[in-house]
A and B are shown apart, each in its own frame.
Chain A
Amino acid sequence: MKIIVAIKQVPARDSQLRIASSGKWIEEADLSYEINEPDAYALEAALQLKEKHSGEVVALCAGPARAASTIKEALAKGADRAIHIEEEMGAFDPLFAAHLLAAAVKGESADLILTGLQSDDLGYGQTGVILAELLGMPHATIVMQVEKSDTGIRVKRELEDGWFQHVDMPLPALLTIQSGISKLRYATLMGIKKAKSKEVRRVTAESLGVSAGTSGISLERIYLPERTKHTQLFDGAPKEAAAKLVEKLKFEARVI
């Protein structure tokens, strides 16, 4: 089974974000980056499928030069090779991102393409589905489990309110993977060593012949949200803060 996993590098979860002077993106200096968490689970799912059915796992990542660290991590965990689309992605919409990914995987003829269900930065939750449509593949989203079947695969999808559903689908197919469905592996020392000699194919939007087109939307500005609710914050020593909170809950909110 040949599996491509699309991964993204995003600012670390606890980052303090500042808006760039352009007003169109965040200030990227001083941020630390990590793999988008849902994509880490997509990578894990791919590695487990490979262990079970043998084959190849190819990591696919669009991002600037710094994304090389996330690619290296994927290779150290067990991906066989990687494709790095070296572009500043910023606030580009998922249609452009998916066009890049689609162009980069042409000719790979993968059986399965996996990616996380959404990114922690832009959060559109669309790149996977768009990629499937551009490649003419069937897709399933918010997938918890993947099993091979006689005719292709059977996946378990998560629905709302605790409901689930199995879906049978032919290959090739694209799946977006839910976060938290398995335990993530760590890279071993041997894995880190091996990663150094693994192939990383570097391409750009230009070399792929993809340019940002019109998509019917334009980003006006980004900004920190204004608080709509007045939150009473208690600071100071934990003991004092706790006492103030309990007083408010008892005499103002009257809930205890």
Chain B
Amino acid sequence: MSVLAILEQRSGQWNRMSLETLAAAQQLATELGAAASAAVLGQGVEALANELASKQLEKVYAVEHELLKDYTPDAYCVALGQVIGRFHPDVLLFPHTYQVRDFLPKLATAHRLIAVSDVVAHRVDGGSVILVRQLFQGKVNADIRLTGDRPHFASLQAGAYRADQVVEGRSTVEVFHPSIEPAQIRTTPRELFRESQRAVDLGSAEIIVSVGRGIKEADNIALVQQLADALGGELAASRPICDAGWLPMERQVGSSGQTVAPKLYLAVGISGAIQHLVGMKGSRTIVAINKDAEAPIFEVADYGIVGDLFQVVPELIAEIKKAK
């Protein structure tokens, strides 16, 4: 058995989830009595691959090609297909990034297999691997056993494994040159861009009060602003609030917005879809106010009030003013 971690980089910088995937690959390999290796794709990625030479890995593959410089699903799938054909990994682990979401289902389908996406945990049971993933926006878990044909493909949710658990050791770097033809690439990617300068740095705020769908109307956001003011905190929001234009995008917390870890994170009317949780679950103290006791936000909350935010928040503002 062998486990291969496919790591993500852009312009020579690691995606921060890459090391989490590396740690997961090492753990799984140890449990299976197998070897873990890693691969990184791109142009001029040998230097990045060399950074991994000090990790406990059997091999580090630098998958080099000029047509891998700018990501396209076609070139990545051609290259990874050749990596699989040449090195025969049994399990391939990926970080569950937007890029992986774009090409992994295509790669697995080309092998007539299914990738298990957005995995939160694993265990080895009787020699086979069971992966845990979430259904219904995090309300239900599913255990999925890897059976039959190999290789197996899985992508790992941000934060499910810890980058600081990567085991140091030694490895050797091997450069692999896949053969990719320009005609195999059907899409033309353009330059990356950002739309707004960020005037608000939520990352440095000590207290964040965040508002979600439960607020119902734009006019009601003033109530949550008052709560933020009473606490001396910044106002933030989950995605639907920014999509609706009720607050600017720069105040969005979550996978498509900012990642924050304040001293206090107070979530008001936020159910806690995983895309939001990955952006705030590192906060020191988390408080949730929500009418649905089953909302996933309570899974990560230290303190919670199950109730109608329109009744709870005014009382909370009054109590905070008293306490200060």
Contacts and interface: CB of A to CB of B under 8 A. Distances in A.
Same complex origin of A and B = yes
B324 A181 contact: no
B205 to A, nearest CB: 13
Contact of A167 (B188, B257, B307): B188
A227 interface: yes
A218 interface: yes
A238 B315 contact: yes
Interface string A219-256: 11111110111011111001101110111111001011
B186 A242 contact: no
A252 B44 CA distance: 51
B63 interface: no
Given A217-B146, A256-B324, 14 more contacts: A93-B114, A94-B105, A120-B136, A123-B133, A126-B115, A126-B117, A129-B102, A129-B103, A139-B106, A159-B98, A162-B249, A170-B186, A217-B147, A243-B319
Given A124-B117, A160-B256, A255-B264, A95 B109 contact: yes
A225 B140 contact: yes
B144 A217 contact: yes
B255 A219 contact: no
A165 B320 contact: no
A189 B143 CA distance: 45
B73 A222 contact: no
A11 interface: yes
Interface in B269-313: 271, 284-285, 287-288, 292-294, 298-308, 311-312
A232 B304 CA distance: 6
A166 interface: yes
B142 A221 contact: yes
Contacts of A28: none
A19 B300 CA distance: 22
11 contacts: A123-B136, A124-B117, A126-B114, A126-B117, A129-B73, A129-B106, A164-B193, A179-B243, A222-B140, A231-B302, A255-B207
Given A167-B187, A222-B142, A224-B139, A130 B109 contact: yes
Given A123-B135, A163-B192, A243-B319, A138 B186 contact: yes
Indicate the member of B98, B244, B308 with the most A CB atoms within 10 Å: B98
Contact of B312 (A124, A238, A253): A238
B47 interface: no
Given A95-B114, A228-B299, A218 B147 contact: yes
B64 to A, nearest CB: 23
A11 B73 CA distance: 32
Contact of A222 (B141, B188, B318, B324): B141
Interface string A1-31: 0000000000101101101000000100000
Give the interface size class of chain A.
35 or more
A254 B150 CA distance: 51
A214 interface: yes
A66 to B, nearest CB: 17
Contacts of A170: 186
A163 B318 CA distance: 40
Nearest to A24: B142
A160 B255 contact: yes
A199 interface: no
B247 interface: no
Nearest to B143: A220
Contact of A249 (B102, B186, B196, B285): B285
Interface of A: 11, 13-14, 16-17, 19, 26, 91, 93-95, 98, 120-126, 129-130, 132-134, 138-142, 158-170, 179-181, 213-225, 227-229, 231-235, 238-239, 241-243, 245-250, 253, 255-256
A253 to B, nearest CB: 4
A132 B73 CA distance: 12
B13 to A, nearest CB: 12
Contacts of B136: 11, 17, 26, 120-121, 123
B264 A162 contact: no
B316 A245 contact: yes
Contacts of A160: 97-98, 255-256
Interface in B224-252: 231, 239-240, 243-244, 249-250
Given A124-B117, A216-B149, A234-B305, A166 B190 contact: yes
B193 A163 contact: yes
B285 A255 contact: yes
A214 B148 contact: yes
Contacts of A123: 118, 133-137
A161 B195 CA distance: 11
A215 B192 contact: no
Indicate the member of A16, A223, A225, A247 with the most B CB atoms within 10 Å: A225
A218 B144 contact: yes
B114 A217 contact: yes
Contacts of A91: 142
A253 B303 contact: yes
Across the A-B interface, give the 10 residue pairs with the lowest CB-CB distance, nearest first.
A180-B243, A126-B105, A242-B315, A129-B105, A138-B186, A255-B264, A220-B143, A166-B190, A215-B114, A246-B319
